[in-house]
Structures are given as C-alpha cells and as structure tokens.
C-alpha cells in the first residue's frame, strides 16, 4: 500500500508540475539540450537509488 | 552511392543470419551463462521498443511536432525509472503464474476466457498498423536506396524472410514458458547494432554537416526558426497524452511485455533496467534532432520520415547502409518479437478455447505447429494491412493509430494491479467502448476518408477531415470513456468469488488467500489418471512429474495440502503451455474439488503462512508490526510445553507444535496438511476418537508405545473461524503428557503403602518379638533341664522355629526402619568391591555356592551411598537370581558411568518373573518362591534402599528368548566436590 501511495504522489506531482516544467523547457532558447541534461540527472539519481537500496522483492 | 535491390536484400538476409547465429550459439550454450544472464543483455533486449518508428518516424515526428517526439522515449523511460515499484509487481505476477502476455494477465485476473479473447482480438487489431509500419519502413527504405523498386513487392519478400526467422527464433519450443535465451541475446545484439548505427548517423550529421557542436550552434543562431519549430508544439497540450501513451507501452505493447516479463532471465536485472533503459533511449532521443537539423541544412529530398536515409545518402559512401541497418534492425526485432507474442496470445485465447486439444495427438507437436502457423498468419495480416492501406499513410499516422489503441488497456491494467473491486463486466464494457471509439472515430476516418458519422462529429466536436491532427483529443476521450465505464460497471455489478480470489493474487502488496477445499483426487496417480483424458497419458505424466519437481514433492504424497499445491502448480505450468483460461478450465474440469459450500470455506492458513514467511522482508510499518505479533503468537504456540494440534473444520491438520513432535516422534512437516487418519497407530485411534467424539476432556488415557506405557490427558475446544463467513473454524486439541506425574503419583502411593506396612511390621515385630523371646528362653531352659532325647530334639526344633520367627521379625524391623537414610552417612562406595563382597557372602550359603557370578563392574566406578545397605541390595538381588536359576547359568553384573549417574545391571538367565507379579514386584510380601522359602520382603527392601539413595530401579523380564531378568539400578555417582561440600 506504501507503493501505491508513492506512485500516486509521483504521478500527481509530475502532472501538477508539468506546466511549469514545459514552460521552463520552452524558454530554453539556444540551450536546446536542457531536457537531455535533466534526463541524464534523473538517470544518475535512478542509478544511485538502484545501487544504494536492496529491492527484496526481486 | 546507390544499391541494388538484391544487395539490400542480401544485407537484410546477412543481418538476420547474424542474429540467428547469435541466437544459435546462445541456445547451444556456447556463450557463458553469466553473459547471457547479465543485466546489460536484458537492458539491451528492451531496446526492441525502438522499432523503425524510432529510427525513421521519430525524425519525421520531430519535424512536424517538435519536441513532442521526445514523449516516445521519455514516456517509456519514466515507466522504467519506476520499474522497482511499477513493473516489479507485474514481473512477480507473470513469473508466479506463468502469464506470458497482457491477455494472459487479464484472463487470469478476471477469470474469464472472454477477457483473454477480447484482449487478443483488440491487441491484434491495434498492432496491425504498427506491424505494417515496420514493413513499410523497410520496403520504402529499400525503395529509396535502390531508387525505384515497387515497395509492395519488396514488402512481400521481406515478410517471407521475417516469417522464416520469427519461426526459427521463437517457435522451436512448444511452450512459451521456456525462456528463449537465444532470442533475448539476439534482440540485445539487434538493439546494440541499432543504437550504434543510429548514433553514428547522428554523429555523421554533427561532424560531417556542421563540423562539430560549434558549427551546429552557429547554424542554430543563424536559423532561430529551427529551435522555435522544436519548442512551439510543446504548447499545444498534447504532451500529457503522448507521455501517458508511451509510459504504458512498456506493459501494454505485446513485444515489450514479452521481452520485459516473459523472457526475463534474471528478475534483479529489472533494477539495472531502471537506469539502463532510460540511458539507452536518451542516446536514441538525442540523436533525433541532430539528424533532423543536419538533414534540413543539406536539404535532403526524401520525406521527413526518411531523413536519416537521405542524410547518409547525401554524405555518400556506404554511410547510407548505417541508416538502413539501423532501420532494418528496429523493424525486424520488433516484428519478430511482436509476432511471437501475438501468436502466443492468439493460440492461448482464440485457438485453444475453440479447438480443444485431442488426447490422442502429441500435444507438444500440435502446439508447435499451431504457433508456427499463427506467426505466419500475423505477418500475413500485417502485410495485407500494409497493402490495403498502410502504404498510403505516413509512419507517424500508423504509429499514432497503434499507440492510441494500446491506451485502451490502461484502465484494465490499473484495475488489475490496484483495484480488487474491478470485474470482468466492467472490463468488457470499458474496453469495448474505448475500442469502438478508436475504430470509428480515428481508424476508419483516417484509413477510409469517405467514412462519416455526422451526428458523432457534432457530439464529439471532432472534425474528421484530419483525424490524425485530432488524435490526442480522441485518445483522451476514448480512454476517459473506457475508464469511466470500467469503474461504474464494476461498481454496480457483482464480482464472482473466483475473480475476487484472483484479484487478491494480482493486487500490489497483497497476499493471495487461497481456500482449503478438498480435492476429488486423493493421490498423485489420481492426478495423472484424470489429466490423461484431456492431455494424453504421456503428456499428463510429464506435466505432473514437472509440477512435482517444481514443488519438490514426492510421488507418494497424499496430504490434501500438498495435493492442493500440486493442483495450483499444474494450473500454473499448464498456463505457460495453454494459457491461463484454458489451463484454469482444464484443471477445474479434470481436477475438481469436492462439492462444497463456498460460504463455509476455510482459508489455507498453512499456505498463507508460508507466503508470509517468504515476503517477510517486504513488509514495513503496520504490516511488519502485525507480522511480528503473528510470529510471536505462532512461536508461543509452537513452543508450548504441551502438545497442540490445530484441526480445520474438514479435519485437516493445520498446526502440530514441537511438543507434539517430541511426544509422537512425528514431524510437523509430515503431518501439517494431512489428516488424523494419516497418523500411525496407536495415535490415530486415540486422536480420531477424541476429535470426533463429544467429550471435551479425556484424562489419564494410556498408550502403549515401544512397550512403554504413556499416560496422556486430552482436552479440546472448538475454534471459531477467522472470517465472518466461517461458522466452524475447526478445533484445537491439547495433549498433555502426564506420564511423569502419573509415575510420581504411583511412587508416592507405593511409598505410602511401604510406610504403612513398615509401621504395621514394627508393631507386629514388637508384639511377636517378646513372646518369641520368652518361648526361646523357656525352650532353652527345658533343653538344659531335661535329658530326654525326644524332649531335647523337640526343644531344638522349637528353638529352630523361634530363630526363624526371629529372622522374619528381624527382617520386618529392618524393613520398617529402612526409610529416612540420613545424607551424612553417604560415602564413596566402590561398586566393584561391594559386588565382590556380596559374591563372597552368597557363596557362604551351600545351596548358592556354585552359582557363577561375573562381576564386570569397573574398578573405578564409585557411587555415593551407604556401603552396608548397598551390599544388602546386591545380596538380595544375587540371592533371587540364584533361586530363579536352577541350571546355574551365570549371573552378570555390569556397571557404567553416565553423566552424574552410576548404572548397574544385574542380569540372570533364569526362568524370569511371572507376568502376574511384574506390576507388584517391589511390593512387600510379593514372592514367587514356595511358602516358607521367602518372606517377599527382599525386593521391597532393595527398592526402599535404592529410593533412599536417590536412585531408581527397574526390571525387564524376560530379557531374551522368553527367559532371564535384568535389574537396572541407577545411583548418584560420587563426586568429590559434592562430598567435600557435604
């Protein structure tokens, strides 16, 4: 049930923040690679979580 | 540089042969297992998602809709970033229940064949545009590079080639439950080639056209409209629906489901995929604008979808082969995996339910051929779709048709994972509504421009002139209608118990609560016999053997619990072979439960417990606290110093604690899940009588176990069921071993009897002693004063008899005074010496002089006691042995030291103790000797002396061959420290 909550919070949070994210993205101008940098940062975060946590269910 | 059709076809053939070679060496075990199961292989195999649409269509989409193209890569990356919490439960489900597709998952969750069939039909329909997109991409890329072959003919040749390889890759085994390691590695290689080739095309654009990043920046500065075209479409509001469509495609797209779940060789690789897959797609995504801008700069003449081909053609040399191979890799990988997955779905949910397997045919061979025919049929359908309509539409349009269609499975999927209240009626209504909206509002108007529904146009506010432009509105509307109806219909209609049961199995973080129903089949042989009817004898035998091996259960198993697990495992295994709905139906029909009232069923506590133990580390918060509490109560019950048996309402043994194991020497593992009737005698009779009887208490029951009597007190109580529907939850039986208490009571009574006899004996001795002494004195006087021989002889006889009376009286006095030996009189007593002394005394008696006595007692054996009284013990025992041993067989005395006790055994080979005397042997005045020969006080005295020493004595008779007697005496060993203390 904790997983459900986390997922709901994540999806709701992403949805609520998406207009601001898209606005920030659209204002990129010459920095067309902005979204890719954020994407890379997310991958780094995911890598860190995967390394530091033990997922017992798998 | 131009290429001929034959050159390009040869490249395609060579590429597919390379993939097949990789698969072949993998299947042959020529690649190390560590490499095959490495998470990187899994991550790369998930690159199958990047079909020809990613290589060609994404560039075209970026040209038209700017940064929205990123949704294709970002959506699925989001799903994998959340893999440990979003995809892991699905992986667990598919692995546990052998579910190989979304149709399997829905059929399992909603316990409905129709749900699987509907999902399959809709899935095939919605995948046809995407499959034809791949065919179109390869055919048109050959057309562009060769400069003028008819794409429809090229597509035909390509489809035949792919059909051959799809069959070679995926349909060599009859069952989808076997992992195709070769396929996984081949698809991983395919992804690697695709990513490297596409990134190489992008780098060629960056360095070949722009002379590096600086050149690109300068060009973008000079052409700000290029960036504006990229940014502007972000504002049109389609971003959310796009991301959502691609987010769920990780699960709903059949080829992704197949690679992510069905072919998963290493579940933990999913964690690596949580960052590996986004990284892979990032490389693909960042290449797209580079290819686009380079193509725009050099003004390639190909359609935007094929900019990567046009760009590399413009660069010249063999560079265009890179783009061609990237597109070919994307298309072929997706086609092979998707057709395998779709053929599996069609077989399980359309063919097998309509045409049940005949038991006379070879099931595995039949399945293999059916799968091959289905693969060919799927590719033929995709080709026909391409010929009919696909070739007229852009890659973007075809892709959008499929992506919007797959969104229709999202409500059902959410219901499966997160909403136990969802039911099949809701699923049918929602799915059909979403599909109809997709078909009539998006597909038909797009593929058949003459298609019009004026009223619907007005109602939905959608103009069909350009449905592709309106696709996001249609997508949102269809999914909203689907989800709304799914929820409403599920809420207002009833859910069957089977659906509820499956829902519990599917719900995230939920535990399946199976019920304990009794099966018609009572043994493994019954299982094979029942399944031979639909499957054929050899298949039934093989499947049952496989299930037994999976469960690690013996073929002789008859416990109801184990048979239920076997039934579940068979259903799971057959699900991998025939699909969940056919498997469920088959198992229901041929391995049925006995008729039962569903409202009175009990949960399978044992199974729930084993699952809880398995999932223990995944519990947190309140659930973990509750689990700790459960474990505490369970442990309390388990270690209760009284035997506890918990019985279900059907008589099945649910609990069997450690005290029961010690008492019966039967392990809980053997008994749990079986019935009392499976118990060995004498436990079976005792416990069954008690469990079935009306009395709630049976005190002091005797049980003969290994020639020893055990005294037991039995208590029982009815247990109410844990759920409101259960009226009778069975009973709990407590078995108390009162043998020690009983023995103590017996010894106390014995001692009390001895004490009263002692008091009586003392009184009698006192009363008799005085007159006897007077008689003796008078007789002596008579003897001295009279010289008559007759008188003297008579007086001598009187004296002899008075002496005899005196001896008896003396014995009585000795016996009466035997209790209460003060502790301080205890000394170290070398038992060997005591026995030697007893031997010497015995030999003083002429009748016993020739009795062979073997003293095997070690010299060092030292007891703590009174040497004189212990001497008396051995004299008595040896006298009895001599009297019972007319043949003068040797009497053996052995001694040993065990921990703090000295054990001595006196064994003769005489006639043994009569049966009627065994129980009362140590009672006073009990003797087997002829009247006048013994007083019956000897063994009573021995018992009394040994008790006074804090020891014990027991007797075994006969010892061997129906004769002989063995007395075993234990005495406290002499310990110096104890002696010094005293």
User: B24 CB contacts (<8 Å, ≥6 apart)?
Assistant: B182
Q: Which of A19, A26, A36, A51 is best to mutate for the B interface (most B CBs within 10 A)?
A: A26
Q: Is the pLDDT of residue A58 over 60?
A: no
| pLDDT given for residue B121 in this prediction | 93
User: By CA distance, what is B82's nearest residue in A?
Assistant: A7
**C-alpha to C-alpha distance for B930 and B932, rounded to whole angstroms:** 6
Q: Read off the pLDDT of each residue in B700-723 and give the average, rounded to a whole number.
A: 76
Q: Read off the pLDDT of each residue in B330-338 and give the average, rounded to a whole number.
A: 92
Are the Cβ atoms of B231 and A25 closer than 8 angstroms? yes
Q: Read off the pLDDT of each residue in B410-427 and give the average, rounded to a whole number.
A: 87
Higher pLDDT, B464 or B870: B870
B831-844 b/e with 16+ CB inside 10 Å = b?
Answer: bbebbbbbbebbee
| pLDDT given for residue B464 in this prediction | 45
| pLDDT given for residue B466 in this prediction | 53
Q: Any CB–CB contact under 8 A between A18 and chain B?
A: yes
Specify the pairing of strand B965-972 against strand B952-956. antiparallel
Pick A26's closest partner by Cβ from B78, B86, B234.
Answer: B234
Residues of B in contact with A56 (CB under 8 A): 617-618
Q: Read off the pLDDT of each residue in B771-784 and give the average, rounded to a whole number.
A: 81
pLDDT tier at B981 (50, 70, 90 boundaries)?
very low
Are the Cβ atoms of B70 and A28 closer than 8 angstroms? no
Q: Is the pLDDT of residue B175 over 80?
A: no
Could you tell me how far CA B824 lies from the centroid of its own chain? 63
3-state secondary structure of B948: helix
Of the listed ranges B194-208, B451-465, B511-525, B651-665, the one predicted with least confidence = B451-465
Residues of B in contact with A17 (CB under 8 A): none
| pLDDT given for residue B197 in this prediction | 92
Are the Cβ atoms of A43 and B279 closer than 8 angstroms? yes
What Å distances lie between residue B666 and B77, B660, B681, B714, CA to CA? 55, 8, 12, 18
Q: Is the pLDDT of residue B397 over 60?
A: yes
Q: Tokens at residue B737, please?
A: 């071993």
Q: Read off the pLDDT of each residue in B357-365 and give the average, rounded to a whole number.
A: 69
In a domain, A58, yes or no: no
Higher pLDDT, A55 or B972: B972
Q: Tokens at residue B469, please?
A: 């432009």
Q: Which of B84, B227, B237, B243 is best to mutate for the A interface (most A CBs within 10 A)?
A: B84
Segment B605-633, tens digit of pLDDT: 666 777 777 766 767 778 788 888 888 88
Provide the sign of the torsion angle of the four alpha carbons B912, B913, B919, B922, taken in this order.
Answer: negative
Pick B282's closest partner by Cβ from A1, A39, A55.
Answer: A39
Instruction: Indicate the burial class of B681 (C-beta count within 10 angstroms; 0-12, 13-18, 19 or more).
Output: exposed
Residues of B in contact with A38 (CB under 8 A): none
Domains and CATH numbers, chain B: 5-393 (1.20.1730.10), 514-596 (no CATH), 609-737 (3.30.450.20), 821-982 (3.30.565.10)
Higher pLDDT, B566 or B202: B202
Nearest in space to B648 (alpha carbons), one of B605, B619, B613, B711: B605
In a domain, A39, yes or no: yes
Are the Cβ atoms of A2 and B239 closer than 8 angstroms? no
Q: Read off the pLDDT of each residue in B547-553 and give the average, rounded to a whole number.
A: 82
Segment B62-73, tens digit of pLDDT: 988 888 888 889
For chain B, the C-alpha Rg in angstroms (whole number) is: 46
3-state secondary structure of B383: helix
CA distance A8 to chain B (A): 11
| pLDDT given for residue B431 in this prediction | 92
Q: Is the pLDDT of residue B287 over 90?
A: yes
Q: Is the pLDDT of residue B982 over 50?
A: no
φ and ψ at B606, to 5 degrees? -60, -40
Q: Is the pLDDT of residue B518 over 50?
A: yes
Q: Is the pLDDT of residue B456 over 80?
A: no
**C-alpha to C-alpha distance for B75 and B87, rounded to whole angstroms:** 14
| pLDDT given for residue B419 in this prediction | 83
Residues of A in contact with B418 (CB under 8 A): 4
- Asked whether B898 and B860 are in contact (CB, 8 A), the reply is no
User: By CA distance, what is A53's nearest residue in B?
Assistant: B271
Residue with token string 């006790």: B901
Q: Read off the pLDDT of each residue in B530-550 and give the average, rounded to a whole number.
A: 82
Segment B101-134, tens digit of pLDDT: 889 888 888 888 888 899 999 999 989 999 999 9
pLDDT tier at B958 (50, 70, 90 boundaries)?
confident
Segment A16-47, tens digit of pLDDT: 787 787 778 777 777 888 889 989 999 998 89
Are the Cβ atoms of A43 and B285 closer than 8 angstroms? no
Pick B270's closest partner by Cβ from A15, A32, A58.
Answer: A58
Segment B315-324, tens digit of pLDDT: 877 888 889 9
**C-alpha to C-alpha distance for B575 and B348, rounded to whole angstroms:** 9
Q: Any CB–CB contact under 8 A between A4 and chain B?
A: yes
**C-alpha to C-alpha distance for B729 and B721, rounded to whole angstroms:** 4
Are the Cβ atoms of B275 and A46 closer than 8 angstroms? yes
Q: Any CB–CB contact under 8 A between A19 and chain B?
A: no
Q: Is the pLDDT of residue B455 over 70?
A: no
What Å distances lie between residue B191 and B194, B199, B283, B337, B403, CA to CA? 5, 12, 12, 13, 21
Of the listed ranges B109-123, B190-204, B425-439, B569-583, the one predicted with least confidence = B569-583
pLDDT tier at B367 (50, 70, 90 boundaries)?
confident
Q: Tokens at residue B470, please?
A: 């309106």
- Asked whether B302 and B309 are in contact (CB, 8 A), the reply is yes
| pLDDT given for residue B382 in this prediction | 92
Query: Could you give the maximum distance between any two Cα atoms of chain B, in Å?
Result: 166
pLDDT tier at B280 (50, 70, 90 boundaries)?
very high
Q: Read off the pLDDT of each residue in B33-41 and give the average, rounded to a whole number.
A: 88
Per DSSP, the residues of B129-154 read HHHHHHHHHHHHHHHHHHT---HHHH
Q: Is the pLDDT of residue B821 over 50?
A: no
For chain A, the C-alpha Rg in angstroms (whole number) is: 15
| pLDDT given for residue B465 in this prediction | 47
Q: Is the pLDDT of residue B179 over 70?
A: no
| pLDDT given for residue B249 in this prediction | 81
Taking any CB pair shorter than 8 Å as contact, residues of chain B touching chain A are 67, 70, 74, 77-78, 81-82, 84-86, 88-89, 91-92, 217, 220-221, 227, 230-231, 234-235, 239-240, 267-268, 270-272, 274-275, 278-279, 282, 285-286, 289, 418, 508-509, 615, 617-618, 620-621
Q: Read off the pLDDT of each residue in B801-826 and give the average, rounded to a whole number.
A: 65
Q: Read off the pLDDT of each residue in B277-302 and give the average, rounded to a whole number.
A: 92
| pLDDT given for residue B719 in this prediction | 77
Q: Which of residues 22-51 of A touch B (CB under 8 A)?
A: 22, 25-26, 28-30, 32-33, 35-36, 39-40, 42-44, 46-47, 49-50
Q: Is the pLDDT of residue B921 over 80?
A: no
Segment B561-594, tens digit of pLDDT: 788 888 888 887 887 777 777 787 788 788 887 7
Q: Read off the pLDDT of each residue in B963-978 and give the average, rounded to a whole number.
A: 81
Specify the pairing of strand B952-956 against strand B901-908. unpaired
Nearest in space to B307 (alpha carbons), one of B48, B58, B9, B3: B58
In a domain, A57, yes or no: no
CB pairs under 8 A between A and B: 90
| pLDDT given for residue B820 in this prediction | 47
| pLDDT given for residue B866 in this prediction | 82
Residues of A in contact with B621 (CB under 8 A): 2
Higher pLDDT, B287 or A17: B287
Segment B747-766, tens digit of pLDDT: 777 777 777 777 777 777 77
- Asked whether B338 and B131 are in contact (CB, 8 A), the reply is yes
Number of domains chain A contains: 1
In a domain, A7, yes or no: yes
Percent of chain B's residues with pLDDT above 90? 14
Q: Any CB–CB contact under 8 A between A52 and chain B?
A: no
Q: Which of B374-378, B849-853, B880-884 has the highest mean pLDDT?
A: B374-378
Asked if the bond preceding B958 is cis, omega within 30° of 0, the reply is yes
| pLDDT given for residue B461 in this prediction | 53
Nearest in space to B223 (alpha carbons), one of B324, B294, B277: B294
Q: Tokens at residue A51, please?
A: 């390394």
Are the Cβ atoms of A57 and B282 closer than 8 angstroms? no
DSSP bridge partners of B673:
none
Q: Is the pLDDT of residue B96 over 80?
A: no
Residues of B in contact with A22 (CB under 8 A): 234-235, 239
Q: Which of B218, B279, B625 is best to mutate for the A interface (most A CBs within 10 A)?
A: B279
**C-alpha to C-alpha distance for B413 and B737, rounded to whole angstroms:** 56
What Å distances lie between residue B787 and B775, B777, B783, B802, CA to CA? 19, 17, 8, 21
Are the Cβ atoms of B84 and A58 closer than 8 angstroms? yes
pLDDT tier at B331 (50, 70, 90 boundaries)?
very high
Q: Read off the pLDDT of each residue in B827-839 and give the average, rounded to a whole number.
A: 87
Report which secondary-structure segment, H or E, holds B288: helix B269-298
In a domain, A38, yes or no: yes
Could you tell me how far CA B964 lies from the centroid of its own chain? 55
CA distance A29 to chain B (A): 7
- Residue A13 lies in domain: 2-52
Helix axes B560-578, B88-97, angle to 10 degrees: 110
**C-alpha to C-alpha distance for B306 and B292, rounded to whole angstroms:** 10
Q: Read off the pLDDT of each residue in B768-782 and give the average, rounded to a whole number.
A: 81
Please provide the average confidence, as pLDDT, over all residues in chain B.
81
Q: Which of B184-198, B396-410, B962-976 has the highest mean pLDDT?
A: B184-198
Q: Any CB–CB contact under 8 A between A16 and chain B?
A: no
Are the Cβ atoms of A56 and B239 closer than 8 angstroms? no
Q: Which of B77, B231, B247, B504 is best to mutate for the A interface (most A CBs within 10 A)?
A: B231
């Amino acid at each position: 049930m904790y997983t459900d909550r986390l997922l709901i919070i994540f999806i709701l949070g992403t949805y609520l923040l998406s207009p601001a994210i898209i606005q920030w993205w659209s204002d990129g101008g010459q920095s067309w690679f902005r979204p890719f940098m954020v994407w890379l940062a997310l991958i780094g975060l995911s890598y860190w979580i995967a390394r530091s946590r033990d997922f017992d269910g798998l | 540089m131009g290429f001929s059709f034959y050159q390009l076809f040869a490249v395609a053939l060579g590429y597919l042969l390379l993939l097949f070679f990789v698969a072949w060496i993998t299947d042959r075990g020529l690649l190390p297992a560590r490499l095959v199961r490495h998470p990187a292989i899994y991550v790369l195999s998930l690159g199958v998602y990047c079909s020809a649409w990613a290589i060609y269509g994404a560039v075209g989409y970026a040209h038209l809709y700017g940064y929205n193209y990123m949704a294709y890569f970002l959506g699925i990356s989001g799903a994998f970033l959340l893999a440990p919490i979003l995809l892991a439960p699905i992986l667990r489900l598919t692995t546990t229940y052998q579910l190989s597709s979304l149709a399997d998952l829905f059929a399992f969750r909603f316990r409905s064949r129709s749900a699987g069939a509907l999902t399959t039909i809709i899935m095939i329909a919605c995948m046809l545009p995407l499959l034809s997109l791949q065919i179109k991409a390869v055919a048109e890329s050959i057309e562009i590079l060769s400069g003028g072959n008819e794409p429809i003919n090229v597509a035909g040749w390509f489809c035949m080639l792919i059909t051959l390889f799809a069959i070679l890759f995926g349909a060599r085994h009859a069952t989808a439950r076997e992992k195709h390691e070769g396929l996984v590695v081949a698809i991983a290689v395919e992804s690697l080639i695709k990513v490297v080739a596409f990134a190489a095309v992008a780098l060629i654009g960056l360095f070949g056209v722009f002379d590096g990043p600086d050149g690109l920046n300068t060009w973008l500065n000079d052409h700000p409209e290029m960036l504006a075209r990229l940014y502007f479409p972000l504002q049109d509001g389609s971003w959310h629906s796009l991301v959502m469509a691609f987010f769920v495609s990780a699960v709903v797209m059949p080829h992704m489901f197949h690679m992510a779940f069905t072919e998963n060789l290493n579940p933990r690789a999913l964690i690596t995929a949580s960052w590996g897959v986004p990284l892979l797609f990032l490389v693909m995504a960042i290449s797209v604008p580079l290819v686009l801008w380079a193509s725009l700069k050099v003004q390639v003449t190909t359609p935007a979808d094929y900019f990567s081909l046009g760009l590399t053609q413009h660069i010249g040399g063999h560079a265009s082969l890179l783009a061609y191979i990237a597109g070919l890799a994307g298309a072929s990988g997706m086609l092979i995996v998707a057709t395998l997955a779709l053929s599996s779905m069609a077989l399980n949910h359309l063919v097998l339910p309509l045409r049940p397997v005949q038991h006379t045919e070879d099931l595995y061979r039949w399945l293999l051929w059916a799968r091959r025919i289905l693969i060919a049929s799927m590719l033929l359908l995709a080709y026909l779709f391409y010929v009919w309509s696909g070739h007229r539409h852009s890659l973007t349009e075809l892709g959008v048709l499929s992506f919007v269609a797959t969104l229709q499975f999202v409500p059902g999927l959410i219901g499966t994972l997160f909403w136990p209240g969802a039911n099949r009626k809701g699923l049918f209504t929602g799915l059909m509504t979403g599909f109809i909206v997709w078909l009539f509002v998006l597909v038909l108007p797009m593929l058949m421009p003459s298609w019009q529904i004026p009223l619907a146009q007005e109602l939905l506010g959608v103009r069909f002139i350009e449905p592709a432009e309106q696709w996001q509105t249609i997508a949102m509307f269809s999914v909203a209608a689907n989800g709304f109806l799914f929820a409403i219909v599920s809420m207002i209609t009833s859910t069957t118990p089977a659906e509820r049961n499956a829902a519990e199995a599917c719900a995230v973080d939920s535990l399946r609560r199976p019920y304990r129903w009794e099966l018609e089949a009572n043994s493994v042989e019954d299982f094979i016999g029942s399944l031979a009817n639909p499957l054929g004898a050899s298949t039934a035998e093989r499947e049952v053997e496989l299930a037994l091996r999976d469960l690690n259960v013996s073929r002789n198993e008859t416990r109801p619990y184990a048979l239920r697990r076997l039934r579940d495992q068979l259903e799971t295994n057959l699900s991998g072979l025939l699909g969940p709905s056919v498997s469920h139906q088959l198992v229901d029909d041929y391995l049925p439960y006995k008729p039962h009232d569903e409202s009175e069923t009990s949960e399978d506590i044992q199974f729930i417990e084993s699952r809880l133990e398995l999932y223990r580390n995944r519990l947190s918060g309140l659930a973990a606290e509750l689990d700790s509490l459960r474990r505490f109560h369970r442990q309390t019950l388990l270690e209760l110093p009284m035997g506890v048996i918990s019985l279900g309402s059907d008589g099945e043994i649910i609990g069997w604690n450690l005290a029961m194991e010690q008492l019966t020497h039967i392990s809980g593992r053997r008994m749990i899940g079986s019935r009392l009737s499976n118990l060995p005698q004498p436990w079976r009779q005792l416990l069954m009588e008690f469990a079935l009887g009306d009395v709630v208490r049976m005190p002091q029951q005797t049980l003969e176990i290994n020639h020893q009597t055990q005294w037991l007190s039995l208590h029982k109580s009815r247990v109410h069921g844990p759920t409101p529907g259960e009226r009778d939850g069975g009973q709990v039986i407590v078995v108390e071993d009162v043998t020690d208490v009983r023995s103590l009571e017996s010894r106390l009574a014995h001692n009390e009897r001895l004490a009263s006899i002692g008091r009586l004996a003392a009184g009698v001795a006192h009363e008799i002693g005085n007159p006897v002494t007077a008689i003796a004195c008078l007789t002596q006087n008579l003897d001295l004063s009279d010289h008559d021989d007759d008188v003297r002889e008579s007086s001598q006889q009187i004296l002899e008899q008075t002496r005899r009376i005196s001896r008896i009286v003396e014995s009585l006095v000795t016996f009466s005074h035997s209790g209460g030996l003060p502790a301080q009189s205890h000394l170290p007593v070398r038992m060997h010496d005591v026995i030697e002394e007893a031997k010497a005394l015995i030999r003083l008696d002429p009748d016993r002089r020739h009795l062979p006595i073997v003293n095997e007692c070690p010299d060092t054996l030292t007891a703590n006691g009174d040497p004189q009284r212990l001497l008396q013990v051995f004299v008595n025992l040896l006298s009895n042995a001599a009297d019972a041993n007319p043949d003068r067989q040797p009497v053996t005395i052995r001694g040993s030291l065990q921990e703090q006790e000295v054990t001595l055994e006196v064994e003769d080979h005489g006639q043994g103790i009569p049966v009627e005397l065994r129980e009362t042997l140590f009672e006073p005045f009990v003797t087997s000797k002829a009247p006048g020969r013994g007083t019956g006080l000897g063994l009573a005295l021995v018992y009394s002396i040994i008790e006074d020493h804090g020891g014990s004595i027991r007797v075994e008779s006969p010892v061997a061959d129906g004769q002989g007697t063995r007395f075993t005496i234990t005495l406290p060993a002499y310990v110096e420290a104890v002696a010094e203390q005293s």
